[in-house]
């Protein structure tokens, strides 16, 4: 059985990936870690194995890996795109510095390493519609710069040292357990909470701005499936486009209105996040992931919205 360490476990993806991995590999085989104290964790993480850990602390990370005989690491530590523009140097230090640290540890300790890339790894000169798997990558956000460098570095460690690095380019992730923080795509989560709480949302992304999005269950499936994939079939390894749906704010609002007919939306566009969104693809071509490891999402805008509203109505009661 795999022995897994999830770093950055208290964030939007980690807080759901940890229980998901535990349900597959067993409670005792999945260790969560984050900068937070255990007392600051949400209910789901609080129950199982947990270590307070800084990704830049090599000695501490090695000690945890030895303590639990870890053989696979999910590296979810990152400053996202919007917050990255406020703190570019910190973004580089954490996103890339943390990854370099983990790659070196993985090389020495023979670990498998999952590191997500993002639609943020593309830029304004990338083909916007049906963005190919292999194409121009000249991102203009620091987040994107760290993601492209990370993809290349992971490829390098695989080729040069045989480290089992793997990863996917995640779209905006929509979920209802832990809020995302500091991303450009966060509006597509906030809108559901505000629709239920207030019946109104002021959107910071302009009408007509398409971006790829994915519901959390598909995100979890992608993270597990790529790590379980037969390595002999993987031609890309660290940068698979994975897509599920592409929409713009008006389409999302219209779908919400099917459940909450009185819902209204207006706009107060944030130039920084709008600029980032404009530089990203409208929709990605994920045929390489489908061919090489059988990627197939289950959720589209319609069934995701049904589920989000059902779950959040209960949660926000
Ligand atoms: C962000 O908006 O920064 C992230 C991402 C798409 O990587 N959600």
Of the options 3.30.1360.100, 3.50.50.60, 3.40.50.720, 3.30.70.1380, the CATH number for the domain spanning 4-171+215-241: 3.40.50.720
Judge whether 189 and 304 are in contact, CB under 8 Å: no
Best CA proximity match to 2, nearest among 19, 17, 20, 22: 22
Q: Report pLDDT for 43.
A: 80
The radius of gyration of the chain's CA atoms, rounded to the nearest angstrom, is: 19
Q: Provide the pLDDT confidence category of residue 47 given band limits of 50, 70 and 90.
A: confident
3-state secondary structure of 228: helix
Q: Mean pLDDT, to the nearest integer, of 87-103?
A: 98
**pTM of the prediction?**
0.97
Q: Report pLDDT for 128.
A: 98
Cα(180) to centroid(ligand 1), Å: 9
Best CA proximity match to 180, nearest among 198, 167, 193: 193
156-198 tens-digit pLDDT = 999 999 999 999 999 999 999 999 999 999 999 999 999 999 9
Pairing mode of beta strands 117-118, 168-170? parallel
294-317 tens-digit pLDDT = 999 999 999 999 999 999 999 999
Q: Where are the domains of the chain?
A: 4-171+215-241, 173-213+244-283+298-315
Site to substitute for ligand 1 among 13, 180, 204, most atoms within 8 A of C-beta: 180
Site to substitute for ligand 1 among 76, 77, 119, 174, most atoms within 8 A of C-beta: 119
Extract the tokens encoding 215.
Answer: 């519901």
Ligand 1 close to Cβ of residue 119 (< 6 A):
yes
Judge whether 140 and 88 are in contact, CB under 8 Å: no
Judge whether 2 and 29 are in contact, CB under 8 Å: yes
Of the options 3.30.720, 1.20.1540, 1.10.8, 3.90.25, the CATH number for the domain spanning 173-213+244-283+298-315: 3.90.25
Of 50, 68, 74, 143, the active-site residue reads 143
């Amino acid at each position: 059985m795999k022995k897994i360490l999830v770093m950055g476990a208290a964030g939007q993806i980690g807080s759901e990936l940890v229980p998901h991995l535990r349900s597959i590999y067993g409670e005792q085989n999945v260790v969560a870690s984050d900068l937070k104290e255990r007392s600051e964790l949400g209910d789901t993480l609080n129950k199982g194995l947990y270590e307070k850990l800084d990704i830049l602390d090599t000695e501490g990370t090695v000690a945890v890996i030895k303590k639990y005989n870890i053989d696979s690491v999910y590296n979810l530590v990152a400053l996202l795109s919007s917050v990255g523009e406020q703190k570019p140097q910190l973004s580089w230090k954490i996103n890339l510095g943390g990854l370099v640290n983990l790659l070196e540890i993985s090389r020495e300790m023979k670990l498998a390493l999952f590191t997500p890339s993002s639609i943020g790894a593309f830029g304004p000169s990338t083909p916007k519609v049906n963005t190919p798997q292999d194409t121009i990558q000249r991102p203009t956000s620091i987040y994107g710069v760290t993601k492209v460098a990370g993809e290349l570095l992971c490829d390098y460690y695989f080729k040069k040292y045989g480290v089992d690095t793997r990863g996917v380019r995640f779209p905006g992730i929509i979920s209802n357990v832990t809020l995302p923080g500091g991303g450009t795509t966060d509006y597509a989560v906030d809108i559901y909470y505000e629709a239920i709480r207030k019946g109104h949302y002021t959107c910071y992304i302009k009408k007509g701005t398409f971006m790829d999005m994915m519901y959390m269950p598909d995100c979890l499936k992608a993270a597990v499936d790529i790590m379980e994939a037969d390595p002999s079939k993987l031609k890309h390894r660290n940068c698979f486009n994975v897509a599920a749906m592409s929409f713009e704010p008006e389409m999302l609002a219209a779908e919400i209105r099917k459940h909450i007919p009185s819902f209204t939306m207006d706009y107060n566009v944030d130039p920084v996040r709008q600029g980032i969104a404009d530089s990203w693809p409208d929709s990605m071509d994920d045929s390489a992931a489908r061919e090489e490891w059988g990627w197939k999402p289950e959720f589209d805008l319609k069934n995701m919205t049904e589920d989000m509203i059902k779950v959040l109505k209960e949660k926000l009661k």
